[in-house]
Amino acid sequence: MKKLMYILACGALLACGNSKREKQPQQTAVPPTEDSAVQTTGANPPPVSTDEQQFRAFFGTFQNAVAGTHDTLLQGMIRFPLPVDNTGTELKQAEFKSRESQIFNGDVVRLLPTAGDAHITEIGEDNSTAYYKKLRAGTDPGTGIYEVHMEYPDQNSNKQSFFTFVFGKVGGQYKLIGYHRNLPVKE
């Protein structure tokens, strides 16, 4: 009987302690400001400010366009004439439709959407290679040039294949400004 009384007394004490805590005023959270609400909900995201951020936003759109069938969108993302190798061969806009499947071939459509940080390189302004100097000459001064390079095994041989897309800012927007791969697009 003493044990039962002891257990009941302890239970009553615990109940009293909990009721005192419940009567204390609860702290309320500070309401979010408009800026924090925008940042957490994604509504009206803050403007993209750096060249790299602008490139990455563009590149994500470019990857999606390559993965789908968005010929018109892709054409608008390319600066023509487009150098299609390291020797100066260029593709004019009027030729794009007939050569599109050579640039955006099955390997590119399969692999480019998976390209990540390991495949992206910023080409410094101090790069004195004639190819990059030529590409840089057609871009907005003081802006970045980015190269996306992917290597993969050729399905028909033991050789490695590759493709490289070069992007630069033209007229305030990033565009594809160069492309090359191990096979010629145009002779």
pLDDT digits 0-9 by tens, 82-105: 999 877 889 999 999 888 888 998
Query: What is the C-alpha separation between 54 and 169, in angstroms, rounded?
Result: 9
Give the model's pLDDT for residue 32.
Answer: 46
Residue labelled with tokens 């007229």: 171
Instruction: Count CB-CB contacts under 10 A for residue 111.
Output: 16
Residue labelled with tokens 């509504």: 43
Average pLDDT over residues 136-162: 90
Give the model's pLDDT for residue 81.
Answer: 95
pLDDT at 187 over 90: no
Give the model's pLDDT for residue 179.
Answer: 94
pTM: 0.71
**Smallest Cα–Cα separation from 61: which of 157, 176, 183?**
176
pLDDT tens digits along 6-52? 455 545 545 555 444 444 444 444 444 444 444 555 566 556 578 89
Collect contacts of 72-78 with beta carbons under 8 A, ≥24 apart.
74/100, 74/104, 77/175, 77/176, 78/175, 78/176
**Smallest Cα–Cα separation from 67: which of 3, 11, 112?**
112
How far CA 24 is from CA of 12, 14, 17, 29, in Å, comes to: 19, 16, 12, 16
Instruction: Count CB-CB contacts under 10 A for residue 144.
Output: 20
pLDDT at 130 over 80: yes
pLDDT at 150 over 80: yes
DSSP character for 25?
A: P
pLDDT: which is higher, 19 or 162: 162
Give the model's pLDDT for residue 21.
Answer: 45
Contact call for residues 163 and 107 (beta carbons, < 8 A): yes
Q: What is the dihedral of CA 55, 65, 114, 153, to 10 degrees?
A: -110
Model confidence band, residue 133 (pLDDT cutoffs 50, 70, 90): very high
Query: What is the C-alpha separation between 120 and 148, in angstroms, rounded?
Result: 5
pLDDT tens digits along 56-83? 999 999 999 998 866 788 899 999 999 9
Query: What is the C-alpha separation between 55 and 45, in angstroms, rounded?
Result: 16
